[in-house]
Amino acid sequence: MSTPILRVAVLEMEYFIALDLQRAIMDVAGWEAVILPANLQDALETEAFDVALTRLGGNPRQNLEHARMAEAKGRGIVFASTVTPEGYLLDSCRGWPVVDLPFLDERLVHALFVAAERLQRRSDTG
């Protein structure tokens, strides 16, 4: 059984980081990746994608809100962070994948796959 092709929205303001993320998603996983200049809320309203890749913010409530907003719209989410998140930040996104920046290609793809599986389980049960 083959893995379905996912469409990943890369919501990253640093253009060269976004390009590297896009390259890894397309080359390693063979999935579609689109770089969007929009914030998550706008992207959820206007763009078609399966999983969003967005920065882990410093506000724990906002991280949780973003994750719930994405799942309410039937989308998965992966958080990316350039620093080791403090415990309270990790608690805010517990259950959702977090990938370090800079990243290893395989870890990024694994995190996206975990987000897609989580989304699939939710749709199978609900």
Query: If DSSP states are collapsed to H, E and C, what string results for the chain?
Result: CCCCCCEEEEECCCHHHHHHHHHHHHHHHCCEEEECCCCHHHHHHHCCCCEEEEECCCCHHHHHHHHHHHHHCCCEEEEEECCCCCHHHHHHCCCCCEEECCCCHHHHHHHHHHHHHHHHHHHHHC
User: What pLDDT was estimated at residue 80?
Assistant: 92
- The tens digit of pLDDT for each residue in 55-95 reads 988 888 898 899 999 999 999 999 998 876 666 566 667 78
Q: Is the pLDDT reported for residue 125 higher than 90?
A: no
User: What pLDDT was estimated at residue 103?
Assistant: 94
User: What pLDDT was estimated at residue 8?
Assistant: 98
Enter the tokens of residue 99. Answer: 């990938």
Q: Is the pLDDT reported for residue 112 higher than 60?
A: yes
Rounded mean pLDDT of the chain?
89
| Residue owning tokens 């350039």 | 82
Domain ranges of the chain: 7-125
User: What pLDDT was estimated at residue 124?
Assistant: 82
Enter the tokens of residue 65. Answer: 């809100």
Q: Per-residue pLDDT averaged across 92-117, rounded? A: 90
pTM: 0.89
Q: Which fold has domain 7-125?
A: Rossmann fold (3.40.50)
User: What pLDDT was estimated at residue 114?
Assistant: 93
User: What pLDDT was estimated at residue 4?
Assistant: 76
